[in-house]
Structure 1
């Protein structure tokens, strides 16, 4: 006898995973823990896979988190000085490998706007151009530390932006948050091509005619060998340690010092150590040949 309902024979196979999960609800969950137990049970029955379970847990977690819990702290923000010429900005952008940068004036409490690295592309292929950084800055989104992370994600979507500056109760900048920071809470760490290549980046890289990017952990012996210099390793083993010793304190991003004609500028640093340096080598002195007349 034929079945009047053609879907009855394989109805269970045609059910969505949400319908399958509904089958395991014996009572409506009253707490977050009970709801998580439901999805744990669903995973144990292979109604959802482990990855889906972890994503659901991430969504539940961000509903209780504040921006202060996930922001990049002020000391680790990579910022650009609005007064710097483009030839100084480019090495910093290349070194950090970020796509967005807060642009500041006096200090990190004065953010003028957000620079997208891709907005500089049109200036890179012109022999001569009038470059004004202020003309290409994007508006700054300011949010309080207490903002809920799920609300922050919604704001990122509605405003079509990827970065926000976080301020404390007194209006001072305490950090920044990106849409990637939130998405990684849900789907796990997001790695791109540059993340995979970071381990292979040379400690010393040429980024300009006389400008080099140098990792602060570069051994002084390696630095000396590369640049044919004779810096002493008596007080420090690394270039970062050499620079700190020269300053007499832990410098912040943007500070610079000169040693034996070499300029060392701090490109990236946190509250504990220098991470990246920009080294400008001295100009090679021109050797003048005197014309000596024969007597």
Structure 2
């Protein structure tokens, strides 16, 4: 019996099956490459740039932004699609090569698929995607949206299993939380840009200062009550006038009896205008200011709690059209004062004029390599000026940090070392540390 025709037909069928399998494996590798590149692009894409492109009418960017709102879901769907494609491709390759090489086909299939997946389905697409994440994200977003919808039941099941497993080890996940908060994302980008020379230190400090306003309170930057210049209501009008003329401040609180009882705030311009008008009307009398009542030109004091955030306080200043507030604690006791300028200085740095010459150099380098620092300087200002990273969790000022770490009020000349710095008390007045010498160890 002639078996030539059936053998040829079998060889033809085997060849056709092999090439069809190769075509399917190639398609699956392309799908795997798409999933790998898309995952990298969507993870690395900037929400800010996607938002900007979406506002300009880019529908792909709008969909990508929607996908990034739930990173756990889209990562789960992409990983599931990627693994399905890789597993099926590897299984088909193993079956095809086993028919040709027998048991050795398993080894050959493992080697071939490892190389193909690593190069063409992982490294190559991820490298391409990381170079242009926004464009790749916008291009792939319509497909990923449908992938998430199709695989959402399986993804939900996987998420339940993952969370239940993590809960066994005491780890709880926040389904609504992002991997990185916006502020940390911006801070990291600015610090990286500064380290690479792309962002100036002043620009970085200004942006981070604006972002910090919602995290900091007026208590941290207020002028302490011991340093507030006030007017005693019982003083003669002429002495009040002299005090206002000698003062470097335009607004001064007025107190009755004790400095805890603030009854008003006078603006130097209002005071001078009123006293000038009274002098013209009473030019013939010996003391034209004898009947002058300072409360008649004073403004009502504006009190704020010490726990108010700087962001909220700045909004209140703008809404009330005022620049000056007195800070009180939970018992209503005066703690200090804060101005709009104080808040703006947290963004743009120290603002000085011809009356602030003493504050123009709050820290001075010495020939020995130390920094001579005013004890009342805030730790934040010191860090901004020197690029140090002294902690400000327990104290607001440099003197407060030394007292906190030493657990006592040190004497002049005492030296301490902590947080990688050497602190020497250069000057002490009563119970206050007024000057310090600091240098990195």
Short-chain TM bin: 0.5 to 0.7
Alignment of 1:219-238 (within 5 A): none
2:271 and 2:294 in contact (8 A); partners too: no
Alignment of 1:243-262 (within 5 A): none
CA RMSD of aligned residues (A): 3.4
- Residue 194 of structure 1 and its aligned partner are, at CA, apart by 1.7
Give the corresponding residue for 2:112. none
- Residue 47 of structure 1 and its aligned partner are, at CA, apart by 6.4
State the distance in 2 between where 1:165 and 1:56 align.
27
Distance change in 2, residues 1:105/1:158 (3 Å): same
Distance change in 2, residues 1:149/1:271 (3 Å): farther
State the distance in 2 between where 1:73 and 1:25 align.
50
CA offset digits 1:150-202 (Å, max 9, x no partner): 11111111101111111111111111111111111111110112224899xxx
Is it true that 1:65 corresponds to 2:203 in the alignment?
no
Q: Of residues 356, 359, 370 in structure 2, which corresponds to 1:195?
A: 356
Give the corresponding residue for 1:223. none
Larger RCO (CA within 8 A; separation ≥ 6): 1
* Larger radius of gyration between Structure 1 and Structure 2: 2
1:163 and 1:177 in contact (8 A); partners too: yes
State the distance in 1 between where 2:296 and 2:210 align.
38
Distance change in 2, residues 1:147/1:42 (3 Å): same
Is it true that 1:104 corresponds to 2:265 in the alignment?
no
Q: Of residues 151, 155, 173 in structure 1, which corresponds to 2:316?
A: 155
- Residue 52 of structure 1 and its aligned partner are, at CA, apart by 2.3
Is it true that 1:87 corresponds to 2:238 in the alignment?
yes
Distance change in 2, residues 1:198/1:54 (3 Å): closer
Where structure 2 has 5 or more consecutive residues not aligned to the other structure, the ranges are 1-47, 54-131, 135-177, 361-428, 433-441
State the distance in 2 between where 1:148 and 1:83 align.
35
More strand by share: 1
Q: How many residue pairs are counted as aligned between the two chains?
A: 186
2:253 and 2:265 in contact (8 A); partners too: yes
- Residue 146 of structure 1 and its aligned partner are, at CA, apart by 0.9
1:76 and 1:271 in contact (8 A); partners too: no
Normalising by structure 1, what TM-score? Answer: 0.55
Where structure 1 has 5 or more consecutive residues not aligned to the other structure, the ranges are 1-17, 200-269, 274-295
SS of corresponding position for 1:119: helix
Give the corresponding residue for 2:329. 168
State the distance in 2 between where 1:159 and 1:83 align.
29
Alignment of 1:114-193 (within 5 A): 114-122=265-273, 123-124=275-276, 126=279, 127=283, 128=288, 130-193=291-354
More helix by share: 2
